[in-house]
Amino acid sequence: MNDQPGYLDGPLAYHTQELYRPDEEKMFEYTSLVARRFLDTLSEAMVLDLCSGTGLSIERLACHPAVSCATGIEIDPGYVSFASDRLLGAYPNLTFRLGDALDPPVPRNSWDIVVLSSAYHHVRNENKAQLLEAASSAVKGAGLVIIAENIIPRHRPKVLEEYSSAIKAFYVAVLSSMMDRFDAIPQSVRTTIQRIVRYGEDGEFEYKVASRCAS
Ligand SMILES: C[S@@+](CC[C@H](N)C(=O)[O-])C[C@H]1O[C@@H](n2cnc3c(N)ncnc32)[C@H](O)[C@@H]1O
C-alpha cells in the first residue's frame, strides 16, 4: 500500500513535465504500438492501467476501436479527478477508479491487456512482487501484461550513493534530450524534475531499477 501523501505538487505539475519529456513520449509510443498490434486481433477488448496517473498511457489505448472497456486504477484522488476531467468526455469506454494497484478493485482473470507504465518504480522494492502478482492475476490467460519503465544505469543493490548517482545520470540524460527538442524549458518543469531527482536520492516516492544490478 502506498502510505505517502500526494505525488509532486499534484497532477498538473506531473502532467506538464511529461509533455516536455522525449523519453516518456517514446515509452508511450512503444507501449501503444505493442498494445495496438495485439488489439488489432481482438474485439470487445478490456484494458486495465495500474497506477494510471493523469491517463497519458491509457488514453492511447482507449481510442482503439476494439476497446470496449478501459479502466485506470490510481491511488491519489487528485490524479483520478484530473484524469477524469481531462479524458472522460472524449472516451465513453474509459473510467478511472480510486484504488491500490497492489490489490486493484477489479475482476481477476478478465483483462486482455494490463499496462504498468512508470508504475513499477512507484512501488517500494519489497512490494514489487505483489504488483506483478496483481497484474498477472488481473490479465486473462491469453492476455498481455505490458511493463513500461524508466531504467536507470547499473548500480550495486542497497548502495545508496550508487543509486543516487544512477538517478542523477538518468535525469542528466533526460534534461539533455529535452534541451535538444525544445528551445526553452519552463522553470516550473525544471523544478518538477529536480524534485523527482530528490525523491530518488531520498528513497521517497520512487524506487527505480536498473536492467541488471552490478554485483
Ligand atoms: C509516474 S506516475 C505514472 C502515471 C501513468 N501510468 C503514466 O505513465 O503517465 C505514477 C502514478 O502512480 C500512482 N501510484 C503510486 N502508487 C500507487 C498504488 N499503490 N496504486 C495505484 N496508484 C499508485 C501515483 O499516484 C502516480 O499518479
**Same structural domain, 103 and 31:** yes
What is the reported pLDDT for 66?
Answer: 98
CA distance 10 to 141: 36
Tell me if 126 sits within 8 A of 101, measured CB to CB. no
> Ligand 1 center to residue 86 CA distance, Å?
16
Nearest CA to ligand 1 atom 2: 53
Cα of 215 from ligand 1 centre, angstroms: 30
Of 19, 21, 16, nearest to 177 by C-alpha is: 21
Atom of ligand 1 nearest to the CA of 102: 19
Q: List 116's β-bridge partners, or say none.
A: 50, 147
Question: What's the CA-to-centroid distance between 36 and ligand 1, angstroms?
Answer: 22
The enclosing domain of 37 has a CATH number of 3.40.50.150
What span, in angstroms and rounded, lies between the C-alpha atoms of 15 and 10?
A: 9
Q: How far apart are the first and last CA of the chain?
A: 29
Substitution candidate for ligand 1 out of 28, 61, 74 with most atoms within 8 A of CB = 74
pLDDT digits (tens, 9 = 90+) for 114-153: 999 999 999 999 999 999 999 999 999 999 999 999 999 9
Q: Using a 6 Å cutoff on CB, does residue 175 contact ligand 1? A: no
Percentage above 70 pLDDT, the chain: 96
pLDDT value at residue 200? 79
Considering the domain architecture, whether residues 159 and 205 belong to the same structural domain is answered as yes
> Does the pLDDT value for residue 1 go beyond 50?
no
pTM of the model: 0.94
**In-domain check, residue 6:** no
